[in-house]
Structure 1
Amino acid sequence: MQSFLGTGVALVTPFKKDFSVDTEALTRIVNFVIEGGVEYLVVLGTTAETATLTNDEKELVIATIAAANNGRVPMVLGVGGNNTAKVVEELKTRNFAGFSAILSVSPYYNKPTQEGIYQHFKAVAEASPIPVIIYNVPGRTASNMLPNTVLRLAKDFKNIIGIKEAAGDIVQAMKIIQDKPEDFLVISGDDMITLPMVLAGGAGVISVIGEGFPKEFSEMVRLGLNKKVKEAYHLHYKLADSIDMIFEQGNPAGIKEVFKHLGLSENTVRLPLVNVDENLSERLANFIKNLG
């Protein structure tokens, strides 16, 4: 469990201008975030534009990140979907060498009941050969995994080790923290309320802004975990405007624009996503310049 205290980053998939996967840029980004101090990497999450990758491209992304990481920090693999049987089949057949856990999103589009969500993750937990971090993100799934469902899963399945909680609701997160098993991890999935969640007893974050500014954001989380509140909030407010900006016109278009200004990759995204507009690009460039 100690592997997932602190900052994990949901890695992007950088594309060249011809929309092919840019493995050189991906290697640069992996080195950038690890050297910036993040504690672990999340591979093929939402931020990776996984929905638009072919199976061959997914394998290329995994291989590129694993080679660049070279065992330096733990890795978590995104394995989720809204067809439970298909997710279970992947869990039973995939090679998880090099990965410490999976991140599995609550089923989207189908809009299951709380019992349906529980039964889905029961099947996932029973099929997964490695620990499971469940993922609640109502803004993308059209259903909210309620605290009672999370706590039921946490207590019933030892290999469900934590939740990435991205409802954007600090009260909901606190309800889980209040009643969770001692070693169950409540991980923020919302960059803006990461610090309050950590101070309330959360384990850290799986972050988007943390890959753009890994040094500052991962230090903020460590300060929060060590209850150095004033110092942590100093960094939070230093980064707060950038958090709003990178999500203003969609993820990962915002963070890819940051990477373009940092010289790490192109800002290319695949449809149905589009690039941020010129105004937001200029504001992000100014933020980076002023951050120093």
Structure 2
Amino acid sequence: MKAFVGTGVALVTPFKKDFSVDVESLIKIVNFVIDGGVEYLVVLGTTAETATLSSVEKELVIETIVKANAGRLPLVLGVGGNNTLSVVEELKTRDFSSFSAILSVSPYYNKPTQEGIYQHFKAVAEASPVPVIVYNVPGRTASNMLPSTVIRLANEFKNIIGIKEAAGDIVQAMKLIQNKPEGFLIISGDDMITLPMILAGGSGVISVIGEGFPKEFSEMVRLGLQRKVDEAYSIHYKLADSIDMIFEQGNPAGIKEVFKSLGLSENTVRLPLVNVNEDLAARLESFTRKLS
């Protein structure tokens, strides 16, 4: 699964001022991150505001990214939810010919037990025609996939190839790295601790800041994987303030403000999300201008 070692980016869905999907801006963003040197693209993740997209809009986003990518990088599709039967149905009926894997979030809101999480991903693994990256993000799901559950899944289902670990807990990440089977990918889901996770033995990141500053962030990840620690941390500390800022008032409102500063898209988000305030917008614009 070398295709998913390095930097993946969770693509936003740009909107026009009238809140419709901005296809032209999405094409620009795809080209921008590819030219910036990232290793793969994640389609319809949380950062894409997928929860606010209609089924027609989701297909438009997929079609646009697949066409713009033109086979240049591996694509990962977000397929997850808190209704296991619905997720399984999508896995059995969707055309995955353009995708190399899926990213599937641990069920949210229901707050299943560890056994419930295991059974959910057992069903996902058995239904998926492509490799599965499970996604642990307790801040959004209200439940934490414990390392024991993840390792159990990794050992029992060969098509569960990795985890996007976004608990923000470096000790938990290290337990995963320590106990994982050979070849299983521990992928950071937290931009700020990506480098420490890589140096501890992680495989890379699925990033938000890497979408705004792909050249710098993907180079940091490559340096980390090469164990060039001082060079990697030099880039990390150059970007650290921007990582804090893009999440300060919610994702993807922060990264969309960066894209506005870069001239790639509007900063429009859909309710219940709102734009960052004027103070944060000014700070993000200033940082982007200085870095670029």
TM-score range, shorter chain: over 0.9
Alpha-carbon offset, residue 151 of structure 1: 0.3
- Partner in structure 2 of residue 115 of structure 1: 115
Residue 101 of structure 1 corresponds to 101
The alpha-carbon deviation at position 291 of structure 1 amounts to 1.3
Query: Match for residue 222 of structure 1?
Result: 222
What is aligned with 2:131? 131
TM-score (norm: length of structure 2): 1.00
CA distance in 2, matches of 1:239, 1:229: 15
Distance 1:166 1:104 in 2: 13
RMSD: 0.4
Corresponding residue of 1:204 = 204
Q: Give the AA of the match of 1:217.
A: F
Residue pairs, 1:10-89, within 5 angstroms: 10-89=10-89
Aligned residue identity for 1:69? N
Tell me the distance in 2 between the aligned counterparts of 1:84 and 1:5.
Answer: 28
- 2:106 partner letter: S
How far residue 120 of structure 1 moved from its aligned partner, in angstroms, is 0.2
What CA distance in whole angstroms lies between the structure 1 residues aligned with 2:100 and 2:203? Answer: 16
* SS, match of residue 38 in structure 1: coil
Q: Which amino acid aligns with 1:232?
A: A
SS in 1 for 2:87: helix
Length, aligned pairs only: 292
* CA deviation map 1:51-97 (0-9, x unaligned): 00000000000000001000000000000000000000000000001
Deviation, 1:183, is 0.4
The separation in 1 between residues aligned to 2:98 and 2:37, in whole angstroms, is 20
Cα offset, 1:98, TM superposition = 0.9
**Counterpart Cα distance in 2 of 1:30 and 1:291:** 20
Amino acid paired to 1:226: Q
Q: Secondary structure at the match of 2:134?
A: strand
1:176-215 equivalence runs, <5 A: 176-215=176-215
Residue 290 (structure 1) shift: 1.7
Tell me the equivalent position of 1:3: 3
Q: Deviations over 1:88-117 (max 9, x none)?
A: 000000000110000000000000000000
The 1-side partners of 2:274 and 2:102 are apart by: 28
Name the counterpart of 1:273: 273
Write the distance in 2 (CA, Å) between the matches of 1:16 and 1:23.
Answer: 9
**1:237 maps to which residue?**
237
CA distance in 1, matches of 2:141, 2:224: 29
Aligned to 1:133, what secondary structure does the other structure show? strand
How far, CA to CA, are the matches of 1:291 and 1:206 in structure 2? 21
Superposed CA deviations along residues 135-177 of structure 1, whole A, max 9, x for unmatched, are 0000000000000000000000000000000000000000000
Q: In structure 2, the residue corresponding to 1:183 is in which secondary structure?
A: coil
Q: Could you list the runs of 5+ residues in structure 2 that have no partner in the other structure?
A: none
Matched with 2:153 is 153
SS in 1 for 2:163: strand
> Could you tell me which amino acid in structure 1 is paired with residue 168 of structure 2?
G
How big is the shift at 1:289?
A: 1.7
Q: 2: distance between equivalents of 1:194 and 1:120?
A: 27
Identity of aligned residues (%): 83
Distance in 1 (alpha carbons) for counterparts of 2:288 and 2:180: 39
Q: 1: CA distance between counterparts of 2:55 and 2:95?
A: 14
Which one-letter code corresponds to 2:11 in the other structure? L
Structure 1 position 166 matched with structure 2 position 166: yes
* CA distance in 1 between partners of 2:141 and 2:99 (Å): 25
Q: CA deviation at 1:288?
A: 1.1
For each residue in 1:1-41, what CA deviation from the matched residue of structure 2 results, as whole angstroms up to 9, or x when unmatched? 00000000000000000000000000000000000000000
Name the CA distance, whole Å, in 1 between partners of 2:118 and 2:286. Answer: 45
